[in-house]
Amino acid sequence: MSHETADTGTTQTPETPETPHLDFAGTTPYEDYVQADVLTHLQKTLSDDPGEMVFLVTTQVMELWFTVIVHEWETAARALREDDLTVAKDALKRSVRELEALNASWTPLAGLTPAQFNSYRAALGEGSGFQSAMFRRMEFLLGDKSASMLVPHRGAPRVHRELEKALHEPSLYDEVLRLLSRRGYAIPQSVLDRDLSQRYEPSAEIEQVWTEVYQGDQDGELVRLGEALTDVGELVWRWRNDHLVATRRAMGSKTGTGGSAGVAWLEKRARKNVFPELWTARSYV
Ligand code: HEM
């Protein structure tokens, strides 16, 4: 690019733009912040197959997205407790974009053939995504609590401690129902006082509450909250289904490395509805 000087009107070549700094006393500020050196040396593949790298990295990338999404949902749950719907909805909306990015990261694994997967499958031993603690944190926040999901993590104190805390805390959905109760909706006392470490069970009363919410002001903050939660529910369901299809392509009906029936077990999991009454209430609006 060139520019004209004000006085003569002649064209001059501008000075070369400043180049980035190269000299740092220690590690770069980028490294100090991102820890890229740590992150890019965590890829310890278990076989000689060149295709294993993308399987491992995709799994690690998904673990990072799980971590971000847990952070957003914990932020949203805390904000709901404090009646701060603006902060809660911002966090939920961010999580919707993040879930879209999470789901897009299936692409490199979506077309694995059985022969390709077999090239490193045996090296995985009994390792399975079923043992992902961060995925369980996501499920717990959605209300899908299960004490037995802590059992695999007894050997990892920090992970176990975090999961146990999450098991006993109100889920995101519990906080939503408490907020609806404070706003005058008829949430049964048994739901407000429920044992938080148990899986949330859908009920006709909560379905009725969502029906009333959705019959109300369509631009109101509660319908918008309901829609943000529905987006979350839909995208979690999509993750489960993308996982199911990738698994069906890669291994047919073989048993899983984690010891389950494989696809048949995943099909059952994929049938679950996240925030069930938000879906069933639609029939009555
Ligand atoms: C195409 C490659 C993949 C195949 C064939 C596959 C297969 C399976 C199977 C068969 C199960 C059932 C449990 C078992 O017996 O192992 C399972 C569970 C699971 N996998 Fe994968 N998986 C793949 C990729 C991934 C990736 C990249 C992730 C990311 C973290 C992941 C996360 C999970 C999770 C969280 C579960 C537990 C699901 C639940 O509890 O509902 N999987 N996988």
pLDDT at 8 over 80: no
> Using a 6 Å cutoff on CB, does residue 256 contact ligand 1?
yes
DSSP letter assigned to residue 92: H
Average pLDDT over residues 77-103: 98
247, 253, 255, 272, best to mutate for ligand 1 pocket (most atoms within 8 Å of CB)? 247
Cα dihedral: 58, 60, 66, 68 (round 10): -110
pLDDT in tens, 249-260: 999 999 999 999
pTM of the model: 0.94
Distance 132 CA to ligand 1 centre (A): 9
Q: What percentage of the chain exceeds 70 in pLDDT? A: 95
pLDDT at 99 over 90: yes
How many residues are there in the chain? 285
The pair of structure tokens assigned to 269 is 């999991």
Nearest residue (CA) to ligand 1, atom 33: 129
* Model pLDDT, residue 13: 62
Angle CA 141–142–147, to nearest 5 = 65
Nearest residue (CA) to ligand 1, atom 23: 247
pLDDT at 276 over 80: yes
Comparing C-alpha atoms, which of 115, 125, 128 is closest to residue 251?
Answer: 115
> Using a 6 Å cutoff on CB, does residue 58 contact ligand 1?
yes
Contact between 163 and 133 under an 8 Å Cβ cutoff? The reply is yes
Domain 52-121+128-251+261-284, CATH: 1.20.58.480
User: What is the separation of C-alpha 160 from the centre of its chain, rounded to a whole number of angstroms?
Assistant: 19
Three-state DSSP class for 3? strand
Ligand 1 atom closest to the Cα of residue 250 is 5
DSSP letter assigned to residue 168: H
Q: Mean pLDDT, the chain, as a whole number? A: 95
* Model pLDDT, residue 1: 40
Comparing C-alpha atoms, which of 254, 275, 274 is closest to residue 266?
Answer: 254
